[in-house]
Structure formats: C-alpha cells, structure tokens
Amino acid sequence: MSDPKKETMDQGRRRFLGAGAAAAATIAPGVTLMQVASAKPDDQPVSDKNRWGLLIDTTKCASGCDACVQACNEEFNLQPQHGPRTDPHWIRKVEVRDTATGRTFSLPMMCQHCENPPCADVCPTGASFRRDDGIVLVDRHICIGCRYCMMACPYKARSFVHEEIPEEDKNVNAPRGKGCVEACTLCVHRVDKGRQPACVEACNGDGHKAMIFGDLKDPGSEISRELKKYPSTQIRADLRLNPGVFYKGI
C-alpha cells in the first residue's frame, strides 16, 4: 500500500525505542533481561512499554477457513440474533483479489488497534479509548450509543448492539449491552493474564499458524523479529493511523 517509507520509518523508530529500553535493562547487573514471552504477566500494570499487535500472514491464511471467527464468537458468546446486518461482527474473513495480477488471498479483519484511533478521537464521552499498551477498547459504561465511532472507523471494525442480550448469553470476558458499541478487544482479558488472543490460538490449533500475537515494542518478540525480516503492510496505511495489526503477503 502507499507510503511505505513512512511505515518503515515508524517501524524503525519503534524498534529503536524498544532496543533502547532493552539496552538500559542490561546495564543493571544480575537483572534478567528482556521478556521474550509474548504477553504481559498478570501482575504487571498496563504500560506503554508494550504495544500489543498482530501479524497476519495472508499466504498461510486458508480461504474458506473461519476458525478465528468461530473462536471469537465462542470466546465472547456472540450469538446471531436478527440477521447478519445487525448481528455483532468482531472479526470477519475477507477474500481479496489483486485486479492487476489476478492473485487472490484471504485474511481476517478485526479492530486494527490503531495508534491514532479515529474512533477514540471522535467519541464525545471518551468511552472509546486506547490503553497505554495500544489496545483500543470501549468503556461500555459511558458509551451513549451515538455510533460516531462507527462512522469514523475506516475498517468497519465495530458493531452496535442492536438488541437485548439474553441474560444466559452474557459473558464474563467482555461486558456487553444493548445500545452500546463494541469491537475486538484483542482478548484483553487473556492478554492481561499472559495468554494469546482466542483467534490466534484457534489459527495455531488448526495448524495454519497464520497469526502471530506479541509485543511490537519488544525487539526480541517473535512478531518483532518477523516484522524485521519480512515485508509487511498495514491496511490503509495511507490513512496514517498506524494500526497494530500487520499483514504479510498483500
């Protein structure tokens, strides 16, 4: 996509910052160095020392497979109610064809956890916000349901809860409620416990291994190493929102 220069600069800067922090850590003797684990241990506070992200390899993502979508629906108990137009969609599969070459590829789309999220910029109450570690969330207790964030999101990543969620369908992993807007939380409830998002786990479990989750600010993490080695891009990188979700093979 356009403006690759800007992207590499941003990535470079991120790596540089990450490396700087790591170097500082090594100066203190006897201290264990960088964390190579891909998620945050539960006892650490949310901090901007991490930026959680995803790398999706479209060459590995299988057309017709929707293990990630199913896993997400299960994790949050997203039940179909009155039809696909109003049902919640936190993640979806998209099949794309490059009109110039005829090559097709498949990929999952979800909230891209933008560094400069327009959804949060426009939200009148501040219900949409970005955590220090880069995860974009909706505080469902101050969301007034104006849907301005849905107008602003370039990825159609958000769903408005169009109907009452039956008591038995309510789910502990994310508070949900009629009249509020919701979206992919990057499985923040798992990330905060040092686990991987449900979609990533499902993709790995299926043997496709098309998704890598990890800390973009940790130069030693698998995701950072992959990003450094292979070309990747962000969807609509030209909008300069710097999403935390990267794609390979677009």
Cα separation of 53 and 213, whole Å? 6
Of these partners, ligand SF4, another protein, none, which one is at the site of residue 26 (CB under 5 to 8 Å by kind)? none
| DSSP assigned state of 206 | T
> Using CA atoms, how far apart are residues 148 and 24, in angstroms rounded to an integer?
42
Alpha carbon distance 141, 128 (integer Å): 11
User: Smaller CB distance to ligand SF4: residue 35 or 155?
Assistant: 155
Nearer to another protein, 33 or 151 (CB): 151
> Which one, 50 or 112, has the nearer CB to ligand SF4?
112
Q: Which does 162 bind (CB under 5 to 8 A by kind): ligand SF4, another protein, none?
A: another protein
List contacts with ligand SF4 (CB under 6 A): 111-114, 117-119, 122-125, 127-128, 136, 138, 143-149, 153, 155, 157-158, 181, 183, 241
Number of Cβ atoms within 10 Å of the Cβ of 250: 17
Select 149 or 223, whichever has its Cβ closest to another protein.
149
Between 198-205 and 67-75, two packed helices, what is the crossing angle to 10 degrees?
A: 140
Site of interaction with another protein (CB under 8 A): 1-2, 66, 69, 81-86, 89, 92-100, 104, 109, 118, 120-127, 142-148, 150-156, 158-164, 178-181, 235-236, 238-239, 250
- Rounded to a whole number of angstroms, the distance between the first and last alpha carbons of the chain is 8
Contacts of 118 (CB under 8 A, 6+ apart): 149, 152, 153, 154, 241
Q: Distance between alpha carbon 157 and the CA centroid of its chain, in Å?
A: 10
Pairwise CA distance, residues 155 & 195, whole Å: 26
Structure tokens at 54: 């995803």
Q: Which does 114 bind (CB under 5 to 8 A by kind): ligand SF4, another protein, none?
A: ligand SF4
- Closest approach of ligand SF4 to the CB of residue 71, in Å: 19
Rounded to a whole number of angstroms, the minimum distance from the CB of residue 178 to ligand SF4 is: 13
**Which class for 33: exposed (0-12), middle (13-18), buried (19 or more C-beta within 10 A)?**
exposed
Q: 21 or 150, CB closer to another protein?
A: 150
CB of 145 to another protein, least distance (A): 2
Looking at the Cβ atoms of 35 and 247, the one nearer to ligand SF4 is 247
| C-alpha gyration radius of the chain | 18
Cβ 175 to ligand SF4 shortest distance, Å: 13
Binding partner selected for residue 117 from ligand SF4, another protein, none, CB under the kind-specific 5 to 8 Å limit: ligand SF4
CB 130, min distance to ligand SF4, A: 7
Joined tokens for residue 244: 């935390």
